[in-house]
Amino acid sequence: MNHGFETLAIHAGQEPDPTTGAVIPPIYQTSTYAQDAVGQPRQGYEYSRTANPTRDALQECLAALEGGRRALAFASGLAAEDTLLRTVCQPGDHVVIPDDAYGGTYRLFARVAQRWGLDWTAASIHSVDAVREAITDRTKIVWVETPTNPLLGIADIAALAQVAHDRGALLVVDNTFASPYLQQPLHLGADVVVHSTTKYVGGHSDVVGGALVGIDEELMQNLAYHQNAMGAVAGPFDSWLTLRGIKTLGVRMDRHCDNAEKVVEFLQRHKAVAQVLYPGLPEHHGHEIAAKQMKRYGGMVSFRASGGEEHAVEICNRAKLFVLGESLGGVESLIEHPGRMTHASAAGSPLEVPSDLVRLSVGIETIDDLLADLEQALAR
Ligand SMILES: *Cc1c(COP(=O)(O)O)cnc(C)c1O
């Protein structure tokens, strides 16, 4: 379908049901399918780990939104990552990961994959040279997140694709923070896009899921083989919820961005705030690259409290409308202290975050209410 983003979000993979005309793809809550004769499954469906029509609808839609040839939906973002790693890498191989990767991604490499013989180097992916130096002859994957969590660092996807490809490695981009509405890494040279669909793609904090999207037919077939062989698939109801969320992805992202921009403006003027981290700010180190590869700058905002760690914790505890909690990307605003919450396990590692940092996932509530809540939380 050669349509715009919003049209694809609503229609790709979502033709009215052929049997009843139902406008919304049904939740095919079934594990198995009646076969017409031995060896003749109807429309190719045999067993729901291998394929399920609701999951197929989601996969087709995700592929369309990222400009990929094929997408695969998993039970969580980490399940998608694990499947990708064990499809592409073998013991003795090496991967380059961001030195401020999502905590769970770091843990997957450092505490799980490493025990199975996968070697890794954490590099500052904001520097193309640092990534080039970290690549070895055994490097199979250069793993990138942009923007990063929680420091909102930016990596140059097109430049890193070149660097990875020069050494025969794949460029994998975790596009969770931007969503395909703001950034489409496959168009910039990335080989595989990873999503935690739990976040903006689902968008309503009601389902955990993940996805892999790619262009290369052979790689995608191999990943699909492993999706079935390893089994961490998205269930029919989870697929349906995610697909329901996707329909409004474009309008939600625009409102997330509108609200985040106003929150940034407010925080910058506030004396309780020492520094605001947002790629939309001209003084942000990655602003120019973000401007080149993103449509807008997203709904995530981090800032450093002028009164240090205790002050940062106090702000988080005092917020009311901003719900104190982990995760991000839902319609409701969330606040958290990465040092003691999402990134507590990174303490003492290269991924440790500043202790005075506060992270906001700016939701789509009425902006005046969000600013009033921040005002009372920041007052000393
Ligand atoms: C949440 C998240 C993940 C992990 O996804 P789950 O769905 O929680 O397994 C990976 N990458 C990023 C950037 C995330 O925010």
Catalytic-residue membership of 36: no
- The answer to whether 304 and 151 have CB atoms below 8 angstroms apart is no
Please report the pLDDT score of residue 37 as a whole number: 93
Distance in angstroms between the alpha carbons of the first and the last residue of the chain: 54
Answer whether 107 contacts ligand 1 (Cβ < 6 A): no
Q: From CA 344, how far away is CA 341, in angstroms rounded?
A: 5
- Asked whether the predicted pLDDT for residue 343 surpasses 90, the reply is no
Q: From CA 50, how far away is CA 370, in angstroms rounded?
A: 44
Answer whether 78 contacts ligand 1 (Cβ < 6 A): yes
Answer whether 208 contacts ligand 1 (Cβ < 6 A): yes
Residue pLDDT, tens place only, 258-305: 999 999 999 999 999 999 999 999 999 999 999 999 999 999 999 999
Q: From CA 160, how far away is CA 129, in angstroms rounded?
A: 9
Answer whether 234 contacts ligand 1 (Cβ < 6 A): no
Pocket test for ligand 1, best of 84, 125, 154, 199 (most atoms within 8 A of CB): 199
Q: From CA 350, how far away is CA 128, in angstroms rounded?
A: 18
Distance 112 CA to ligand 1 centre (A): 16
Distance 207 CA to ligand 1 centre (A): 12
Catalytic-residue membership of 174: yes
Answer whether 99 contacts ligand 1 (Cβ < 6 A): no
Phi, psi of 268 (to 5 degrees): -65, -30
Which domains, ranges and CATH numbers included, belong to the chain? 5-246 (3.40.640.10), 249-378 (3.90.1150.10)
Residue pLDDT, tens place only, 193-249: 999 999 999 999 999 999 999 999 999 999 999 999 999 999 999 999 999 999 999
- The answer to whether 127 and 154 have CB atoms below 8 angstroms apart is no
Residue pLDDT, tens place only, 80-101: 999 999 999 999 999 999 988 8
Distance 262 CA to ligand 1 centre (A): 26
Query: Choosing from 49, 244, 318, 340, which is the catalytic residue?
Result: 49
* 175 dihedral zone (left: phi>0; alpha: psi -120 to 50; beta): alpha
Q: From CA 152, how far away is CA 276, in angstroms rounded?
A: 10
Answer whether 239 contacts ligand 1 (Cβ < 6 A): no
Which pLDDT band holds residue 130 (cuts at 50, 70, 90)? very high
Residues 6+ apart with CB under 8 A from 191: 161, 170, 171, 172, 214, 215, 216, 219
User: What residue type is assigned to position 214 of the chain?
Assistant: G
Burial class (CB in 10 A: 0-12, 13-18, 19+), 17: middle
Q: How many CB atoms lie within 10 A of CB 262?
A: 15
Q: Which atom of ligand 1 is nearest to the CA of 105?
A: 10
Q: Which atom of ligand 1 is nearest to the CA of 208?
A: 7
- Asked whether the predicted pLDDT for residue 346 surpasses 80, the reply is no
- What is the DSSP pairing of strand 334-336 with strand 323-324? parallel
Catalytic-residue membership of 206: no
Radius of gyration in angstroms for the set of CA atoms belonging to the chain, rounded to a whole number: 21
Q: From CA 276, how far away is CA 262, in angstroms rounded?
A: 12
Identify the CA nearest to 129 among candidates 100, 174, 160, 98.
160
Distance 102 CA to ligand 1 centre (A): 7
Residue pLDDT, tens place only, 175-199: 999 999 999 999 999 999 999 999 9
Q: Token pair of 286, please?
A: 């990655």
Pocket test for ligand 1, best of 154, 176, 192, 207 (most atoms within 8 A of CB): 176
Which pLDDT band holds residue 347 (cuts at 50, 70, 90)? confident
Which pLDDT band holds residue 342 (cuts at 50, 70, 90)? confident
Q: From CA 253, how far away is CA 258, in angstroms rounded?
A: 9
Q: Which residue has the tokens 């790619």?
A: 214
Q: From CA 280, how far away is CA 297, in angstroms rounded?
A: 5
Give strand ranges (E) for 306-356: 323-324, 334-336
Please report the pLDDT score of residue 149 as a whole number: 87
Answer whether 198 contacts ligand 1 (Cβ < 6 A): yes
Q: From CA 105, how far away is CA 1, in angstroms rounded?
A: 33
* Per-chain mean pLDDT for the chain: 96
- What is the DSSP pairing of strand 300-305 with strand 119-123? unpaired
- What is the DSSP pairing of strand 334-336 with strand 357-361? antiparallel
- Asked whether the predicted pLDDT for residue 73 surpasses 70, the reply is yes
Q: Token pair of 56, please?
A: 């197929």
pTM of the model: 0.96
* Residues, the chain: 380
Phi, psi of 96 (to 5 degrees): -100, 125
Q: From CA 347, how far away is CA 340, in angstroms rounded?
A: 9
Residue nearest to atom 8 of ligand 1 (CA): 77
Catalytic-residue membership of 49: yes
Q: Token pair of 167, please?
A: 């050494």
Distance 198 CA to ligand 1 centre (A): 7
